[in-house]
Amino acid sequence: MSLANFIVFPDLGDSRGSLVVMDDLAGLPFKIRRAYYLFGSGIKESRGFHAHKTLHQVAVCISGACKMVLDDGEVRDEFRLNSPFRAIELPPLVWHEMHEFSEDCVLLVLADNYYDEADYLRNYEDFLERVSV
């Protein structure tokens, strides 16, 4: 079974250009409490390498592309994020890594809660132990 859960948002734009709205009314699985974005990572940089205990997130490349690796402790899958209309869900207890950022990549992440370092599982062995119980 694939770990990918994509959420596709419609283009509300017109002849002047595109417009995309991301909120729970448009299909997000939560109300947004925090948004952050990653950019300026070179093609050789990798980020992430953690899971969250409870945080639920959605990630979308609003510009450019990157590779998202998801791992639930049993299945490891990789996906190309390359559309501002298609977001991928990052549920709790799914290890995620981002690789191969294009030069123009802006990765927007929407989260259901505030930043909390205590919610991170940054060690892969600890993560595996957590998901195997």
**Which residues sit at the interface with ligand TYD, rule CB under 6 A?**
34, 36, 38, 47-48, 50, 115
Between 34 and 53, CB nearer to ligand TYD = 34
Query: Least separation, in Å, of the C-beta of 10 and ligand TYD?
Result: 28
The residue from 50, 52, 56, 99 that is catalytic is: 50
Q: Which of 79, 42, 81, 40 is nearest to 59 (CA)?
A: 81
* Separation of alpha carbons 70 and 3, rounded Å: 7
56 as an active site residue: the answer is: no
Whole-number Å distance between alpha carbons of 27 and 8? 8
* Rounded CA separation 16/2 (Å): 37
Minimum separation from the CB atom of position 86 to ligand TYD (A): 20
Active site residues: 50
